[in-house]
Amino acid sequence: MSFGNGGPFGPGGPDSSTPDWDALADESEARGRRRRWLLIGGGALATAAVAGIVATAVITSNKGGDLPRPVTLPTESAAPKPSFSEVSVPPPPNPRDYITDPKKDTAALTPAGLFPDQNMVLGKNSYPRRSTAVTDDCTAGTYGALGSVLKHNGCKKLLRATYAKDGVAVTVGVAVFDSKAAAFKVKAAGKPGLAPLPGDGVGSFCQGSPCTTYANATGRYAYFTIAGNLDGSAVTNASTKALQIGRDGGQYAFHRIWQRGTDQAAKAARAQS
């Protein structure tokens, strides 16, 4: 069988020892083209795959706007809650209880305890203390009807102190009873009659001349004042100094009684703690 001129094995036929270089070259070139296309196609696919991965990575990294994600903090309910003792604390003692109940009002009742300050100070006004006195016979420190009212309601003790300055003086008196009811009965009677207490440069005052008087009560105490001019002249609406020292004396008596209750209540509170 003859393949004719130019068969696959060249002009020399199958027994020829000389290869057909042109045919081999064409075949090699064809194989090279196929290899290049495969490489180009594979490279394009690989490039596309890498681009897809990069795009995915970029999109994923941009989900938070290139900002760090917020840290999740524990909720308030997750935080430990403070614990409190269920032991109840008793309320502080009321000073009024101590100036009302003789079983609680046990501090010593003396002029030094009730009128301890060398000066009676009320706001900008200050008056030196001149004398003090105490008596179990409440009628001894009074005049007029007040003595009998004190005695009838069971007055236990009457304490007095006198303060004077600039030609005026006031005597402050505090009467002690066993109950609030008795003290307020004396107040309601409206019978002023505290006797002025002279001493330490203060002579008799409010003897036979009009003076200003005052009466009130708090707790189991009734308190009184009598104030006037040291020259013996009558107290009138124009006697501003005498009227002022009389008002200050009444306030001072109240503050001193209340301070007595406050001191005893504070002592009881310290004992409870």
Which CATH number covers residue 164? 3.40.1000
Q: pLDDT tier at 46 (50, 70, 90 boundaries)?
A: very low
CB 179 within 8 A of CB 187: no
Q: Which range of residues forms the domain containing residue 245?
A: 106-264
**What is the percentage of the chain residues whose pLDDT exceeds 70?**
67
| Per-residue three-class SS string for 112-132 | HHHCCCCEEEECCEEEEEEEE
pLDDT tens digits for 138-171? Answer: 999 999 999 999 999 999 999 999 999 999 999 9
**What is the percentage of the chain residues whose pLDDT exceeds 90?**
62
Supply the pLDDT for residue 194. 97
pLDDT tens digits for 82-132? Answer: 565 565 666 778 999 999 999 999 999 999 999 999 999 999 999 999 999
Mean pLDDT of the chain: 79
The answer to whether position 176 is within a domain reads yes
The answer to whether position 211 is within a domain reads yes
Q: Which of 50-54, 196-200, 210-214 has the lowest mean pLDDT?
A: 50-54
The answer to whether position 76 is within a domain reads no
**What's the average model confidence in pLDDT over 230-240?**
96
Supply the pTM of this predicted model.
0.67
What is the 8-class DSSP label of residue 237? T
The answer to whether position 170 is within a domain reads yes
Supply the pLDDT for residue 35. 52
Supply the pLDDT for residue 74. 52
The answer to whether position 15 is within a domain reads no
The answer to whether position 54 is within a domain reads no
Supply the pLDDT for residue 92. 79
Q: pLDDT tier at 208 (50, 70, 90 boundaries)?
A: confident
CB 228 within 8 A of CB 196: yes
The answer to whether position 96 is within a domain reads no
The answer to whether position 111 is within a domain reads yes
From CA 250, how far away is CA 39, in angstroms rounded?
118
**What's the average model confidence in pLDDT over 245-272?**
95
How many structural domains is the chain composed of?
Answer: 1
From CA 261, how far away is CA 26, in angstroms rounded?
128
